[in-house]
A and B are shown apart, each in its own frame.
Chain A
Amino acid sequence: GNSVTQMEGPVTLSEEAFLTINCTYTATGYPSLFWYVQYPGEGLQLLLKATKADDKGSNKGFEATYRKETTSFHLEKGSVQVSDSAVYFCALSAMIYNQGGKLIFGQGTELSVKP
């Protein structure tokens, strides 16, 4: 079946450090891949997405590239800020006709950025 595996947290970085959060997936077919972010006390928000192999999703300085050969979608940011402290979820959507694009989530990775 479909599944998503993320690196375990928490990840603690200093401001302006480089961030990588690893995500690998198992899926049949050609899923779409997503990164969602959850700020404290809030619901999840879509951060970026990619719908086919070699696509790069980007938003707010974050990037992730859909790598079919390694079944990965690692999240990166060149210089993190304190405001990036949140929980990050990798997810995939295997769009199924008339069943919606149900998302399968990884376990989440908590990021804490210190000044």
Chain B
Amino acid sequence: NAGVTQTPKFRILKIGQSMTLQCTQDMNHNYMYWYRQDPGMGLKLIYYSVGAGITDKGEVPNGYNVSRSTTEDFPLRLELAAPSQTSVYFCASSYPGQRNEKLFFGSGTQLSVL
């Protein structure tokens, strides 16, 4: 009963380093999302995917890349990390097809860029 699993839970990066945030789901959901949560700002959509091989930009995509080679996995790549990318990152998935869809969230990755 894993749901959406994110790794790592915490990470500290130096400016200019790169890393990949991992996300996997075992619910066979077509749709997956990456959000970032900044204090007092709510969640902002970074990228989303409607299925394997298909990705698209959300509201704040700059500085990030994604890929979706399988239904289960949706990694988020940070190239050249910057202090502005310090945030909590949430991966989510859903199985739309009905209008009142529900998102399932992972427990988050807290990233600090120093």
Contacts and interface: CB of A to CB of B under 8 A. Distances in A.
A36 B41 CA distance: 15
Given A95-B99, A107-B40, A102 B108 contact: no
B74 interface: no
B107 interface: yes
B41 A99 contact: no
Contact of A100 (B50, B90, B100, B108): B50
A99 B30 CA distance: 11
Contacts of B48: 99-100, 102
Contacts, number: 66
Interface in B100-114: 100-103, 105-108
Given A100-B33, A102-B33, A107-B40, A46 B45 contact: no
Interface string A25-49: 0000000100010000111111001
Instruction: Provide the main secondary structure of the chain B interface.
Output: strand
B91 to A, nearest CB: 9
- The interface centre, meaning the residue of B101, B106, B107 with most chain A CB atoms within 10 A of its CB, is B101
Interface in B40-90: 40-45, 48, 50, 56, 58, 90
B42 A102 contact: no
Contacts of A41: 107
A70 B48 CA distance: 31
Interface of B: 4, 31, 33, 35, 40-45, 48, 50, 56, 58, 90, 92, 94, 96, 99-103, 105-108
11 contacts: A43-B92, A43-B107, A44-B90, A44-B103, A44-B105, A93-B101, A95-B99, A95-B101, A99-B48, A100-B96, A101-B96
Across the A-B interface, give the 6 residue pairs with the lowest CB-CB distance, nearest first.
A43-B105, A105-B42, A107-B42, A100-B31, A105-B43, A51-B100
